[in-house]
Amino acid sequence: MDDEVILEIEDLFINFYTKAGVVKAIDGVTLSIRKGETFGLVGESGCGKSVTANSIMGLVQSPPGKIEKGIIRFTTPREILSKANIKKHFGRTDLNAEMYRSSKIDILKLNKKDIRLIRGRAISMIFQEPMSALNPVFTAGDQISEIILLHEKKELAETILKKLEDGRKPKKKYKKAKKKLGQKGESRCSNCNGIVLDDQDICPQCDSSFIRNPGGNGPQLGYGFYKRIYTKMASNPDDKILATMAMIPLIRRYRRPMIKEANEKALRMLRLVRIPDPKNVMKSFPHELSGGMQQRVMIAIALSCRPQLLIADEPTTALDVTIQAQILKLIQELQEEMGTSVLMITHNLGIVAEVCDRVGVMYAGCLVERADTESVFKEPLHPYTQGLMNSIPKVDLELTRLETIEGNVPNLIKPPSGCRFHTRCPYVMEHCKKEKPPLIEITSGHSVACHLYGGVDNG
């Protein structure tokens, strides 16, 4: 695995200013995600997992939430970095130049416009409940093509220009052939018996066509107009004149070919997430799809711009168990295919064991343990992690009662002094109530924030 770090969160503090008081939701979280790995963030409800994820996306609602301190450093891809407004963000000081060279950007310091370039394109998110995360008035296809239209205007314009040129070429004569159904559900050409894909109109082996009019060159409407528009679009996708034109009725129709192209890409994305009958799903509204299909559509939206980091915020909570396994497997497969890193937020330790390479355990806004999955499950160090592991129901042990962690999650308006877990910790010491334990690396790659281990180092 590549050891290149793609995201670093350093000392993140987030408070929510509510009427009841200041909720100290995130209290010094430090973690890093490497390229291509799956990092699991575990913890009970309300411990700040989702807030951490939202802060990476810049989605923390500004009142009441406030990011007090911290750095979220994200290795931004060059093509986003080269956008003019992000360059401005670096200024000219040496330190910033250094940042620019390493292409690491502090997301928290970006302005609204710049962060939109990263959202959806470099970092994207899968939400917990696909039903409510999809917009009920748009079809699934529209929602996938929306993100493509937002971020990939340049690529779309280039394809359209190419198609325009193709359409001008003189017609070619093709032999006629039909698709046959071969073994294993493959389609075969009736002429040469070669394997044909579903969406191919022309046989790649013998050059015979399955449709009446291959090449698609009919009368060309507005060739010059489209060509001029899309040459402009390809050179500068954020062109102001084009953006204004998109707001005027009738004139906005120049976007039609682009929308069409985006729809085709959306269809490819739906095939990628293995949705049966993607053409129909494109035209269906979210309520017409099952939960699993909705989540697949969400994944298709999230992955359509090939993000560097995918945040999966409890992606399987709203789904039933059989679909859960499918969705997790799908995320894993796509991750390998695209080389995306995944931040998997969950409270299900089974999922962590199944898919994650490394795990961070959170408790009441603090990261209490961070290690690779195997060592967390084999020898959990922090008392809270130990408690979590003990409270997993096991088939082979005959217990009359499930083991639990005594006590309740503390109120984060008045969090316990020192270590936030000391009120429930079985090994609590005087020292724990006064001082907050730092996250210390015990063995290589296994860090824990607990005085039980820090004490050994000090003494």
Residue 224 C-beta: closest distance to other proteins, Å: 12
Binding site for other proteins (CB under 8 A): 57, 59, 112, 116-121, 124-125, 127-129, 132-138, 146-147, 150-151, 163-164, 167, 178-185, 187, 190, 201, 210-223, 226, 256-257, 260, 274, 276-277, 283, 285, 287-288, 298, 301, 326, 329
Looking at the Cβ atoms of 254 and 421, the one nearer to other proteins is 254
Looking at the Cβ atoms of 220 and 244, the one nearer to other proteins is 220
Residue 347 C-beta: closest distance to other proteins, Å: 18
Residue 287 C-beta: closest distance to other proteins, Å: 6
Looking at the Cβ atoms of 103 and 213, the one nearer to other proteins is 213
Looking at the Cβ atoms of 275 and 349, the one nearer to other proteins is 275
Longest CA span, the chain: 88
Whether 40 and 358 have beta carbons less than 8 Å apart is answered as yes
DSSP assignment, residue 410?
P
Residue 211 C-beta: closest distance to other proteins, Å: 5
Looking at the Cβ atoms of 175 and 260, the one nearer to other proteins is 260
Burial of 179 (0-12, 13-18, 19+ CB in 10 A): middle
Residue 274 C-beta: closest distance to other proteins, Å: 4
Residue 116 C-beta: closest distance to other proteins, Å: 4
Residue from 342, 341, 416 nearest 384 by CA: 416
Looking at the Cβ atoms of 76 and 447, the one nearer to other proteins is 76
Looking at the Cβ atoms of 92 and 287, the one nearer to other proteins is 287
- Taking the C-alpha atoms of residue 333 and residue 339, their distance in angstroms, rounded to an integer, is 10
Which contacts (CB < 8 Å, 24+ apart) does range 100-107 have?
102/75, 103/75, 103/76, 103/77, 103/78, 104/8, 104/73, 104/74, 104/75, 104/76, 105/73, 105/74, 105/76, 105/81, 106/71, 106/72, 106/73, 106/74, 107/56, 107/58, 107/72, 107/73, 107/74
Residue 260 C-beta: closest distance to other proteins, Å: 5
Concatenate the DSSP letters of all residues of 154-195 into one string: HHHHHHHHHHHHHHHSPP---EE--EEE-GGG-EEETTT--E
